[in-house]
Every structure is written in structure tokens, then in C-alpha cells.
Chains A and B, each alone.
Chain A
Amino acid sequence: MARIIVVTSGKGGVGKTTTSAAIAMGLAKKGHRTAVIDFDVGLRNLDLIMGCERRVVYDFVNVINEEASINQALIRDKRSENLFILPASQTRDKDSLTKEGVGRVLGALSETFDYVVCDSPAGIEKGATLAMYYADDAIIVTNPEVSSVRDSDRMLGILASKSRRAETAAEPIKEYLLLTRYSPERVRLGEMLSVNDVQEILSLHLLGVIPDSKAVLNASNAGTPVILDDKSDAGQAYADVVARYLGEEVPHRFIEFQKRTLFGRLFGG
């Protein structure tokens, strides 16, 4: 039985797809068979971030409509044999997703994978609610600013009431906070909410803090999950996140402001 992880936020542009790609790759690199699904039907991006956009034949909607089998639609990653990508359809809209269809696909994936990562679209409409409906764990991606924090809070409310686990009164979804685009320097200048500010508002288990980093954009442009850039701060931060998710005790990094050292100049993103 796979563990189903939803990466969600409510707000757009906070780093859901980057996070989905990084975490899926991280889990695969640790030897877990992992599938990552793009739920953003109509605005697909995950294939670009994963660098497999030229190998898409069938997509998620084809599988839901039973026009293709799951194995036909899954794209094996070239860098890790444990990682598979199920891309979204670019030509349909989110109404193509049905609760039964998504349940069937996730059920089938659960039989052969250890982890299924669901990359949720922004918003709280059908795509987003279906992405989180079957989840066991939720990673709430939040930027350190008030509107993102509020949207995350809203998303947490939906997770607590409109998921399968909530409806069947099963053990609730495990919720984790992931702060992205964090800049300790801007926090120091009072331009950004601090980790503590965000945690006080959301009161959520902190899975990790991803520093604001040029490495993320570079990785996206290159179609390489940033976690593979193990020299970059963001790549290391995501590696920590995956380790923490798997139960390892890893101290938090990239939270305190540090003057640029020689090390920083050499390796910093």
C-alpha cells in the first residue's frame, strides 16, 4: 500500500510543483518506488520541471477515461529508476477529473508504489480538492507572507473536513508545513514573516524551510528537480525535508541570517 502525499497550498506560485518534483525525486533516490501525479489539468507544469515534457504520450485524463492504461501513461524518470511521472492533460479542463476516476488511478498505483505524490493545482476548486481527497499526508507549501499563510490555513480547513479520511472518520491526514522562498535577511529587515510568525498562525509541524534561491529557477529551466543540485542551499534543504519526512532527525537549516562567508560565496545559490 502506497502512502499518498498531497502537495498543496491554496495560493498559486508558492512552489508546489517544485516541491512535488523535489520530494518525489528525493524519495526515489532513497530507494522508494515513487509516482508523482500532476493534478493541474489544463495548466500542466510538472513535466517541464521533471524534464520529461518531450516524452508525454498519454496523460492522467486518458487513464481516468480508460483510453490508456496506467503503465502506458506513466513516464519513467531517466535519472532514477524508482521514479515515475503521470503528467496532466493540457487540452482538457479540471472537470475531466472525477472522484471515482482519481480513486481508481490512485488505487492502482498504490499496489505497486511506496509513495504517490499528488501535485495539487492552486485554488480550492475541483482539481485541488480531488488532489487532496485521497491523501494520507499533506505538505502545505507556504510563502512567508500573509496572503499565502491565510490560503494555507483555508486549505488546512478543507483537508480537515473534505477528505476521504475526514468523511470516513479515519485517522486524520498528517499535515506538514513547508516554508518556501524564505529569506532570513528579509526577515531580519522586517520585510517578511519569520518561521515563528508563520508557525504561530498555522500551528503546524514544520517539515522544513527552503531558502529563496536562484538554484530553484535554474533547476526549473533545466528540467531538473532542484534536489539533484546538492551543492545548492535549496537542494540541500529539500534533501533535509525528505529525510525528515521519512522520520530522520535533521536540524533545521537556512533559518538564521548569516553573513556571506567564503563558503557561502563558493556554494551559495
Chain B
Amino acid sequence: MPVNPREQTAHSAVMELKGGSITLPVLKLLSSDMQRVQDQLKLKIHQAPAFFHNAHIVVDLHDLAAGHGDLDFPALLGLLRNLTLIPIGIRGGNEQHHRAAQAVGLAVLADGSYEAGTSPPARLSPQGAAKAPAPSRLIDHPVRSGQRVYAAGGDLIILSQVSPGAEIMADGNIHIYGTLRGRALAGVKGDQQSRIFCMDLQAELVSIAGHYRISENLDDSARGKPVQIYFLNDSLMIEDLSIPARQTHHGRT
């Protein structure tokens, strides 16, 4: 059927609605004491001001102790904005939190995925959101050159070494309580929140959700050390775990 050109113009799309996932820093609140939150956050931001300037942030209330029931949302919003952060939503918490958050214009986000702030809070109750964790795969012997180990749907835990020429993969995180000399690929189905932990980094390749780094591009300062590797801000971060008492500003998976 021929289409009238004018009609086509009238009906041509000026917008599309699509699902997408965006990685955002998550501020995990462990206390409702706004003064202390502000002090500690200030210190963190001071370490990397450029990174936090106008950064969107999600507030995670999962670990907020039960005793800290009342959260002063206007004060929280105020302190975050003062520190040049742009709070966009909350995750976790109880129904009271959800109502309070929506009252100040924050979205209530589902676990692991993003939903419109107007979704009924009932769907986000802790019982509904908690998924049974996928079983981890545990390997208690060395993974030798030429061997491949894949943990489908969950984490991979290796209690030994991973030799050069070996390949270990997981849909979730990878933990290696030994030397990693081979290749380690976490989040192979695209989970950018997955991480790699190892006691001694000498890897040929590390990858999180397809973002990889080869041995040649590994920083010498991280080599031979216990590290965690995660994906943040479009790049692979390698963090030395032997430096004590470090607290990360973003959520752990």
C-alpha cells in the first residue's frame, strides 16, 4: 500500500522507549547519622574530586541497620547536592523509605535493574526482590594450562592456582585463593557488577563483562599483589587489596 509522504512525516517517530542498563556509583548507607555520612563522604570525594563532580548516584539502603529506621531524606539530598553529587534514586529499604524517597522526587529502583519511580513499592519489598543465589562452583585443585573452567549462573571459587594457558570463566564473580597466571573472565554474560579477586595477580588476561586487559597492559604496581578487579566508569579498575583499611564508595556485588 502506498504511503502518503505527509502521513509518514506525521507518524514518524520522534522518540523511542527502550530498556537499557547503566552503571552508576552506589552509595551504601550503613547509618542514618547524616553528619557522619557527610564527613566520610567528603573525605572520599576529596580523593577524587573530578570523578565525583556532577556524578549521578544511587543510595542503597539494604545494609541500613534496622535501628536506623528513620532517614531524613531532605537532609540526605541536601548534603549530596552540596557535594556536587546528583542523587537519582534509592535501592532497598522499607516501604516507609520508598514513600519518603518518592516524596522528594527520588526514583525507587529495583534490585539489579532500573524501573520507573512510579512502580508500586509493594513489588520492591525485600522478600519479592531477593532471588535465590545461583550455586557457586568450587575448585580445590590447580587449574592447569589448557584447562577451562566455567561457572554457569554463579560465582567461581578457586582454592588453588590458575596456570598460564588456563581459562576460568564465570557468569558472576571469580575468587582465586592462589596465583592467577592464566585468563580470568568474570561476568561473561554481561554482568558489569561482577568482579575478580585474586591473591596474586600475574594474569595473562582479565575481563569483566567483556571489558578486558591483557598482561602487557597490566600496571606493574598491581602485579604480584592481592587485588580486586571491577568495572567502573567505563574502565577496568585494579585495586590493590594489600593496602589496609580501604573503603570503597561504590556497592559491592
Contact = CB atoms under 8 A, between A and B. Distances in A.
Interface of A: 150-151, 153-154, 156-158, 160-161, 200-203
B160 A157 contact: no
B146 A160 contact: no
Contacts of B142: 156, 203
A150 B181 CA distance: 11
25 contacts: A150-B163, A150-B165, A151-B145, A153-B144, A153-B163, A153-B165, A154-B144, A154-B145, A154-B146, A154-B165, A156-B142, A156-B144, A157-B144, A157-B147, A157-B163, A157-B166, A158-B146, A160-B144, A160-B147, A200-B179, A201-B163, A201-B164, A201-B181, A202-B163, A203-B160
Contacts of A157: 143-147, 163, 166
Nearest to B143: A157
A154 B163 CA distance: 9
Nearest to A200: B179
Interface string B145-165: 111000000000000110111
A153 B146 CA distance: 8
A203 B140 CA distance: 13
Contacts, number: 36
B141 A160 contact: yes
Contacts of B146: 154, 157-158
Which bracket fits the contact residues of B? 10 to 19
A150 B179 CA distance: 15
Query: Considering the complex of A and B, which 8 residue pairs feature the smallest CB-CB distances, nearest first?
Result: A157-B144, A153-B145, A154-B145, A157-B147, A154-B146, A153-B163, A156-B144, A157-B146
Q: Which of B141, B144, B147 has the most CB of A within 10 A?
A: B144
B163 A161 contact: no
Contacts of B165: 150, 153-154
Contacts of B181: 201
Interface in B84-133: none
Contacts of A200: 179
Contacts of B144: 153-154, 156-157, 160
A151 B144 CA distance: 10
Contacts of A160: 141, 144, 147
Contacts of A151: 145
Contacts of A203: 142, 160-161
Contact of A150 (B145, B160, B161): B145
A201 B182 CA distance: 11
Contacts of A156: 142, 144
Contacts of A202: 163
A89 B142 CA distance: 36
A8 to B, nearest CB: 13
Contacts of B147: 157, 160-161
Contacts of B143: 157
A173 to B, nearest CB: 12
Nearest to B181: A201
A154 B143 CA distance: 10
A151 B163 CA distance: 11
Interface in B162-199: 163-166, 179, 181
